[in-house]
Structure 1
């Protein structure tokens, strides 16, 4: 039986879960190899909101856009709780999202943290992958400077977008960054980049033919 993964991102009115509210949540649930996307819009209390937070996540621009509609908080809580129940939460700094969600669920449920106790941060995961490659390259080339090369490439403290680029995943576009669904999709892509083999190397002979044949056909037609 496969483990349920939940790629999660939240947008909030500030950085303190005791003072600020989550106002947008996206969850991409992966079960049995299939992803389903869910987004919730929760009307927040803005009395203690941080202006900088609202600027970064473009709160006023987005909530006043045509078609924006708030969800009922209690109904959303039930639906979201069910999606996260027993799931391994994956994201960019998911501890942040988990704390805000726990405070949100605390108003409705006795157990405010229904997810698996171990969350997965995709930036840390990707950095581990890069240092793992440095180990392989060092053993192959007898050159320990590969570690320094990785450290220089990702910088310190690690910046998620820089690390993302190092594992060949483009960060979200400006109009998508700091939207819950856009960031959840990006976190999923980073996770997949370091945990899923390239289809080219994992393909069977039949799948390899299906991958290569269209390119060969296009080349052949172009030469005529």
Structure 2
């Protein structure tokens, strides 16, 4: 089995200098599945240069543990250097990364790793599940949709609820459900 990582980040902006403040990864490999949400220490986020709209959309001030939100099981708060090491470890050995516009996430994670003297080791081609799903619909001659949420519904996958959307783990779980719906059956039949 190829190692697969469903990944999402919430960031301080949408610009090139964005920093991830929440990172969620669901890793599947021969040993099973594990999930982790990382909150990056606010001292490492360059918040003076953050976009207030980006912070609002991700719920930074209501969900970050340093602003009063409790940590749940499978979540941790750590310095950016530790977050970088965890990302490298969870995506190593050419793991195939899946997300919704995963290049947005992998670009800022690459910068995070680089700031801490690390290099990424995921497969060089991150997979956008919404683009794959568009191909899935086209292959079945079904109408193509204009948004990732509508594309998801057209594939039979319920998008995240409003409370889950724009949380890193909520979006990573969405990608995993979508993957299971449109890609996992193909892998199973190819292995048979």
Which residue number in structure 2 is paired with residue 108 of structure 1?
Answer: 116
Unaligned 5+ runs, structure 2 = none
Residue 90 of structure 1 corresponds to which residue in structure 2?
A: 98
Runs of at least 5 residues in structure 1 that lack an aligned partner in the other structure: 135-148, 203-224
- Aligned partner of 1:11 in structure 2 is 10
How far apart are residue 35 of structure 1 and its match? 1.6
> Following TM superposition, by how much is the alpha carbon of 1:77 offset from its aligned partner in structure 2, in angstroms?
1.7
* 1:117 equivalent in alignment to 2:115: no
* Residues 110 and 61 (structure 1), Cα distance of their counterparts in 2 relative to 1, 3 Å cut: closer
Moved over 4 A (4+): none
The answer for the alignment partner of 1:61 in structure 2 is: 62
Deviation at 1:33, TM superposition (A): 7.2
RCO (CA 8 Å, sep 6+): is it higher in 1 or 2? 2
1:195-224 C-alpha deviation (Å, 9 max, x unpaired)? 1339xxx8xxxxxxxxxxxxxxxxxxxxxx
CA RMSD of aligned residues (A): 1.9
Identify, as 1 or 2, the structure richer in helix. Answer: 1
**TM-score, normalization: structure 1?**
0.74
CA displacement 1:167-203 (0-9 Å, x = unmatched): 11111111111111110000111111101339xxx8x
The answer to whether structure 1 residue 29 and structure 2 residue 30 are counterparts is no
Task: Choose from 67, 78, 85 the match for 1:71.
Answer: 78
Q: Which residue of 2 aligns with 1:182?
A: 170
Shift in Å, 1:48: 0.9
Between Structure 1 and Structure 2, how many residues are aligned? 178
| Shift, 1:39, TM fit | 1.1
Q: Give 1 or 2: higher strand fraction.
A: 2
1:65 to partner: Cα distance = 3.5
What SS does the aligned partner of 1:197 have? helix
SS class of match (2:160): coil
Larger radius of gyration between Structure 1 and Structure 2: 1
- Cα displacement string for residues 102-133 of structure 1 (whole angstroms, at most 9, x for unaligned residues): 0000012352x321111110000111000111
Q: TM-score, normalised by structure 2?
A: 0.86
